[in-house]
Structure 1
Amino acid sequence: MKPWTLANTLLDRIASYLPDPFLLGIRLYWGWQFFQTGKGKLSDISAPTAFFTELGIPFPQLNAWLAGCTECFGGLLLLSGLFSRSICVPLIFTMLVAYGTAHLDVIKTIWSDADSFVTAPPFLFLLASVIVFIFGPGKFSVDELLRRRKKA
């Protein structure tokens, strides 16, 4: 066997063990970040309500509660890996709304100034949610435990 083929085979075998720890890391870190952000909104609902009012978001207090609850409780679900794909849908929507309201300027310049888009606060929250939505929560999750239990 040629050395480069052996190296590629070895790298493929090593890489095949990485998706589940990677997804666990994303869920743990970003689930905690969502939880903290949401908890912050819920602990002083007047601050996000005032901010949403300033942005012209309709029903600012209701939407502040919705965003805070989605982030706080969605973060906990993401952290545990329970209903992972389902909770990613409202988390993704919340981050898209954040982009479309608080960070509309970076949306308008996404092609001319991509750096401002990827450095905006919602970007990594959105990216983590999209990754878990697409690939699932991985083997180290409550969802996987329930799936295995259902099969047995």
Structure 2
Amino acid sequence: MNKSDTIRDTAALIGRIGVGAVFVAHGWQKVSEWGMDGTAAAFEGMGIPAPALSAWFAALVELIGGTLLIVGAGLPFVGVLLAIPVLGALFLVHLPNGLLGEGGYELVLVLAVSAIALGFNGGRFSVDHLIRGKRSEPARI
């Protein structure tokens, strides 16, 4: 592993930790602060379809998926899975409010694209790399 590989992989690890922590915090907020009934009621008020099911889906994906993103396990599946609830929030809730300002979609957009990018480019400092070893490295020409 050369120096630029180490820097790239360290940057991916830092990104996974930061983005994963935000997902975990949002999932934990749904479960512990609002409670699942409160989250479902909030989702219903925002017009989200199947609010109880959507609340559980979002909370579990954010908690479990965020944790898996941090440790780098199940990539890229986890990255795509994490993007689903935030893209739903973008299109169903935030889009009419514009990019910036109260209720804007800047955060959910950044979370969705970051989850996908890190899911497909999680770096070597990950559980996936430990399991797959050298087979997961791209071929060098």
TM bin (shorter chain): 0.7 to 0.9
Which residue does the alignment assign to 1:36?
Answer: 25
Equivalent residue for 2:113, pick from 127, 130, 144:
127
TM-fit CA distance, 1:59: 1.5
Offset of 1:115 from its aligned partner?
4.9
Q: 2:96 aligns with which of 105, 120, 125?
A: 105
Within the alignment, does 1:142 sit opposite 2:127 as a pair? Answer: yes
SS state at 2:76 partner? helix
The answer for unaligned runs of 5 or more in structure 1 is: 1-12
TM-score scaled by length of structure 1? 0.75
Deviation of 1:125 (Å): 1.2
| Deviation, structure 1 residue 124 | 2.3
The 2-side partners of 1:125 and 1:118 are apart by 13
CA distance in 1, matches of 2:72, 2:16: 7
Larger radius of gyration between Structure 1 and Structure 2: 1
TM-score (norm 2): 0.81
The residue correspondences of 1:1-150 to structure 2 (distance < 5 A) are 15-43=4-32, 44-106=35-97, 115=100, 120-135=106-121, 137-148=122-133
What per-residue deviation string (whole Å, max 9, x for no partner) do you get for residues 64-123 of structure 1? 0000000000001001100021111111111110101120214xx5xxxx5569863312
For structure 2, the residue ranges without an aligned partner over 5 or more in a row are 137-141
Deviation at 1:56, TM superposition (A): 1.7
Distance 2:111 2:124 in 1: 21
The letter of the residue matching 2:128 is D
Hey, what's the Cα distance between the residues in 1 that align with 2:117 and 2:43?
A: 28
Structure 1 segments of 4 or more deviating over 2 A? 13-18, 114-121
Query: Equivalent pairs: percent with the same residue?
Result: 28
Aligned to 2:139: none
CA positional deviation for 1:133? 2.9
Question: How many residues were matched structurally?
Answer: 132
Q: Quick one: distance in 2 between partners of 1:119 and 1:56?
A: 16
> Root-mean-square deviation (CA), in Å?
2.5
